[in-house]
Chain A
Amino acid sequence: QTVVTQEPSFSVSPGGTVTLTCGLSSGSVSTSYYPSWYQQTPGQAPRTLIYSTNTRSSGVPDRFSGSILGNKAALTITGAQADDESDYYCVLYMGSGVVFGGGTKLTVL
């Protein structure tokens, strides 16, 4: 069974830069997995940030960027703000469906 791995938690200072990663329990993540990233605050629906590795969804500020770093997909937040404090989920496409990562809880302090 494919497991998509994410850091359970991360902390960043206001104005700082943080990179969250999305890996596979077995193998490397490539653009063929169409990695996407979602932001979710408690009680709210997810918000689409990045799709197809590095395409920003409409209305998403350019502080958010996606890439492949080594063997993982990555979400980089530059100039972190207080309202970036959220859960972040990555998704990898597996050919018929997708698998979600377990999510990263980002704290801004």
Chain B
Amino acid sequence: EVQLVESGGGLVQPGGSLRLSCAASGFTFSSYWMSWVRQAPGKGLEWVANIKQDGSEKYYVDSVKGRFTISRDNAKNSLYLQMNSLRADDTAVYYCARGLEWFMWGQGTLVTVSS
């Protein structure tokens, strides 16, 4: 069974940083593209970033380019999202997801950016 468990969310002030982690199990992590998707309170889903199996390709939605960095550690079956220069509109539940064109989902971790 595919399991994706996010951690690292919390309350952070505007301009601050946060690093999200995702622990994967139940599949061969190194064989899959991985993604982050977020959902602001009461809003729809928004793709944030993805990363190729070996980390050689990474793509981001325009609104986070230059501020967020996606990475992975295949030896640890883990996905990460480093978030810098956080803004109030980054407040959302962040989901770790397996895949490129379609997704299997974690349960999400809440990031709140507020003073």
Contact = CB atoms under 8 A, between A and B. Distances in A.
Secondary structure at the A interface, as helix, strand, loop or mixed, is strand
Contacts, number: 58
Interface residues of B, number: 21
A46 interface: yes
Given A34-B101, A34-B102, A36-B102, A102 B95 contact: no
Nearest to A37: B102
Interface residues of A, number: 22
Contacts of B101: 34, 36, 51-52, 91, 93, 98
Interface of B: 35, 37, 44-47, 49-50, 59-61, 95, 100-108
Given A51-B101, A51-B102, 16 more contacts: A40-B45, A45-B95, A45-B105, A45-B106, A45-B107, A52-B102, A93-B102, A97-B61, A98-B47, A99-B47, A100-B37, A100-B44, A100-B46, A101-B44, A102-B44, A103-B44
